[in-house]
Structure 1
Amino acid sequence: MEALYFLVFGALAVVVATLELSKSSKDRINTSPAFNAFKNNYLVVYSLMMAGDWLQGPYVYYLYSQYGFGKGEIGQLFIAGFGSSMLFGTIVGSLADKKGRKRACVTYCITYILSCITKHSPQYKVLMLGRILGGIATSLLFSAFESWLVAEHNKRGFDQQWLSVTFSKAIFLGNGLVAILSGLVGNILVDNLALGPVAPFDAAACLLAIGMAIILSSWCENYGDPSETKNLLTQFRGAAAAIAADEKIALLGAIQSLFEGSMYTFVFLWTPVLSPNDEDIPHGFIFATFMLSSMLGSSIASRLLARGTPKVESYMQFVFLLSSSSLLLPVITNFVVVPSGVKGGSISFSGCIQLIGFCTFEACVGIFWPSIMKMRSQYIPEEARSTIMNFFRIPLNIFVCVALYNVKAVPMTVMFGMCSIFLFVASLLQRRLMVIAEIQKSKSQEWTSMNERSIEAEPLNI
């Protein structure tokens, strides 16, 4: 069975490498040396930030269990992290628009480093503080960096289409290659060097400190709306008004919440659903295969974004349909394939089918990230970008907290069925977004044409 995992992993690696190396001129966007230097600087920082996050992920639950905490207490710690991201993270993340996106990125580094330090204590209260800090950091990671990038990109006068190059490369590296390398480094630190489960958190803190030094030394500050007359409540109201006034922004927020909510639920459930009878599955290989699948998706997205056709609003509705079908597989196999009921052994036949579906879903995740970033850069107003992006995360965090709280009470087939429905709804909303965008574009072109004809028809006064 291990030979099969090696074969699948190797085949995916070959496909990803082939896609990247076989890009033609149509698949690449010609850019300037100044933009390439800017892009590479951002990619180095973003990769370090994501490495700091990925190093911790596989060992959080394990560390808590080593300290002697049970599933109930560990569940409370995880819920606290998402709750903190929803409450405190939204406030701190929104301050980025007013106080500066660079400062928010530095705050992310400091907050996450402090969270890593708390992992050295076995005391529940200290670990809870660490989860709260980690929740705040997560909100900053998924809003402040993108907000800084978009604002700085526009401020330097780079072509708007070039943003997709940075987005796709950031996901290819940060959510793909860096994740795989982080898993390998974490495994070496904990198992090979026997440094204990806290070692990956110390390594993460070091990488975050290096990234913070680069930010402080090479990044410029930019703001959304730095007006001193606007307090935080006014800023929230302005962001809410912008969402209510523009259906495209509201649709984008709903789509993001539905997809990411399903994605985080999948992260919690893929291990038990692939080993319902305590089958011996290679978690490390499967995780690496998922990340390779995500890299494959981001490589596909970079080609689509570079060509410009089909439009991102168009192809994403099919991506959501494919992801919906992928997460429906556990429900289908539960009814079609008779469970063995035998404890232990290798992965079952239904598990193999589900694994193919999960790899497909991860490829959809790889397409989703640069594509949603591209749409956010088009539709979200600059003055409240971080605030609105954190508003989008409120329903996401509520859903994840509810899912975590009821994970034992609700059957996994119901959870996956619910995620599949959410993704199908996201596809319908994406279709609506595409239609609205096309109507508004058509009206804008008609208005421009009318103005041009009006100017041409005006008599010359001599």
Structure 2
Amino acid sequence: MELFFYFVFGGLAAVVAALELSKNNKDRINTSSAFNTFKNNYLLIYSLMMAGDWLQGPYVYYLYSTYGYGKGEIGQLFIAGFGSSMLFGTIVGSLADKQGRKRACVTYCITYILSCITKHSPQYRVLMLGRILGGIATSLLFSAFESWLVAEHFKRGFDQQWLSLTFSKAIFLGNGLVAIFSGLFGNVLVDTLALGPVAPFDAAACFLAIGMVVILTTWTENYGDPSENKNLLAQFRGAAVAIASDEKIALLGAIQSLFEGSMYTFVFLWTPALSPNDEEIPHGFIFATFMLSSMLGSSIASKLMARSSFRVESYMQIVFAVSSASLLLPILTTFFAVPTKARGDSLSFAGCIQLLGFCTFESCVGIFWPSIMKMRSQYIPEEARSTIMNFFRIPLNIFVCVVLYNVDAFPITVMFGMCSIFLFMASILQRRLLVIADKPKTEDWQMKERDSESEPLNL
């Protein structure tokens, strides 16, 4: 492995360690013992849930290929997953608000475990069912857990600022340490122990089962809108009214879709960008480096959110602008590096520059997650939190499906340019959100919702 990879990984690890060790009283939030117990319980469960997700990610494509499926069929399976999340996400989100967030989190565990079980079958229909179940589970993962946390946090009377501490720690652990160790653990199962590509899915199911037991035994139930006279269609209408009547919610949804759409596109593009001629690159080590970069971002976010002088709406403008610039590097390097068709033995100079840019982008991702979570907790109404959060994922899933379907239709530089433009647009929208953040809503969305329910509907 090249010395360059060790240099980047070691440098990032040193910076993360320095940031964590250098935290002083201004960077720390004084909390109560009751909150710490509550926070640690959530972090344990969230880490188990993310372990169940990260263990599967690196081996999905590989497993399908070992079953003999080609790129086109595998692409269809991936599209089915994102399409399922788009079609069923809003429904399961509304059910979470109506039937209970704890129940929805348990449903996530069961659904994802069933999805893991389907990986034992090489039959295309069974694998397609697994992707559909996985898409439903993904919608619950990115809505039900956060909705439960926010509602339970305020129900127990904890300070609002303490919520940012839980968010930043969850991303530091779940999207950082857990992701790195999951990748290493999966590598041991598949390569060292030679248990086959389905072994990480079995391990994921075990982690999900353990997490489900902890949820069932330690969590209490909370709801969005427990009223018995509101049907599912009325919940959809209420969520749509909330988005349409409050510009802040609409802006937040657009920002989230633009950033996450670019992020998921990056997941498909970084490998061909770094090895355009099939250069030998350490994919697993680079993935771990990206996750370490994400940890760096979450560590920075925790320091920023701990200080009242820094507003999330303000510094996120810079984050989006930096992320936009970082994804321009694959385009800029084409002007300075001489293209070649020869297969290289290692990462090229242009690839080294791009890797640094990609690490910068992943650091922005680490800042984005806890920051967007904090903004959602401030602007999204509790009554329809899960429903609205899954509404935000509809344009995201449409975008990812279109990209997957046309991934070979455009040059890679065009794809990166599109992502860079989207991120710049997110920065502009974030500026607008900052301007109107302190303005009171001119109209109560709940009044509009009640008006929209004047005509009885049955579903």
TM-score (norm 1): 0.95
1:439 Cα offset (Å): 4.0
Give me the identity figure in percent. Answer: 84
Larger radius of gyration: 1
1:362 Cα offset (Å): 0.2
Q: Match for 2:367: what amino acid?
A: I
Residue 31 of structure 1 corresponds to: 31
Cα distance between partner residues in 1 of 2:292 and 2:434: 29
Cα distance between partner residues in 1 of 2:386 and 2:225: 11
Q: Is structure 2 residue 406 aligned with structure 1 residue 406?
A: yes
Residue 152 of structure 2 corresponds to: 152
What are the superposed Cα offsets for residues 69-92 of structure 1, whole Å, 9 maximum, x if unpaired? 000000000000000000012211
For the residue of structure 1 that corresponds to 2:327, the secondary structure is helix
Q: Which runs of 5+ in 1 are unaligned?
A: 442-462
Q: Match for 1:211: what amino acid?
A: G
Q: What pairs with 1:289-438 in structure 2 (closer than 5 Å)?
A: 289-438=289-438
What are the superposed Cα offsets for residues 241-261 of structure 1, whole Å, 9 maximum, x if unpaired? 000000000000000000000
For the residue of structure 1 that corresponds to 2:315, the secondary structure is helix
Cα distance between partner residues in 2 of 1:260 and 1:224: 25
Q: Is structure 2 residue 77 aligned with structure 1 residue 77?
A: yes
Residue 455 of structure 2 corresponds to: none
Cα distance between partner residues in 2 of 1:281 and 1:386: 40
Cα distance between partner residues in 2 of 1:179 and 1:59: 13
- Which deviates more from structure 2 when the two are superposed, residues 63-72 or residues 329-338? 329-338
Residue 459 of structure 1 corresponds to: none
Cα distance between partner residues in 2 of 1:52 and 1:387: 24
1:93 Cα offset (Å): 2.0
TM-score (norm 2): 0.95
1:10 Cα offset (Å): 1.4
Residue 190 of structure 2 corresponds to: 190
Cα distance between partner residues in 2 of 1:227 and 1:200: 42
Residue 232 of structure 2 corresponds to: 232
What are the superposed Cα offsets for residues 362-411 of structure 1, whole Å, 9 maximum, x if unpaired? 00000000000000000000000000000000000000000000001111
Q: Is structure 2 residue 270 aligned with structure 1 residue 275?
A: no
Q: Match for 1:419: what amino acid?
A: C
Q: What pairs with 1:98-117 in structure 2 (closer than 5 Å)?
A: 98-117=98-117
1:185 Cα offset (Å): 0.2
For the residue of structure 2 that corresponds to 1:230, the secondary structure is coil
Residue 13 of structure 1 corresponds to: 13
Cα distance between partner residues in 2 of 1:413 and 1:90: 33
Cα distance between partner residues in 1 of 2:309 and 2:205: 42
Cα distance between partner residues in 2 of 1:131 and 1:83: 9
1:52 Cα offset (Å): 0.2
Residue 258 of structure 2 corresponds to: 258
Cα distance between partner residues in 2 of 1:187 and 1:122: 22
For the residue of structure 2 that corresponds to 1:86, the secondary structure is helix
What are the superposed Cα offsets for residues 39-76 of structure 1, whole Å, 9 maximum, x if unpaired? 00000000000000000000000000000000000000
Residue 66 of structure 1 corresponds to: 66
**How many residues are paired up?**
441
Cα distance between partner residues in 2 of 1:332 and 1:416: 11
Q: Which runs of 5+ in 2 are unaligned?
A: 442-459
Cα distance between partner residues in 2 of 1:102 and 1:92: 13
Q: Match for 1:374: what amino acid?
A: K
What are the superposed Cα offsets for residues 100-151 of structure 1, whole Å, 9 maximum, x if unpaired? 0000000000000000000000000000000000000000000000000000
4+ residue stretches of structure 1 with deviation over 6 A?
none
Residue 449 of structure 2 corresponds to: none
Cα distance between partner residues in 1 of 2:440 and 2:151: 24
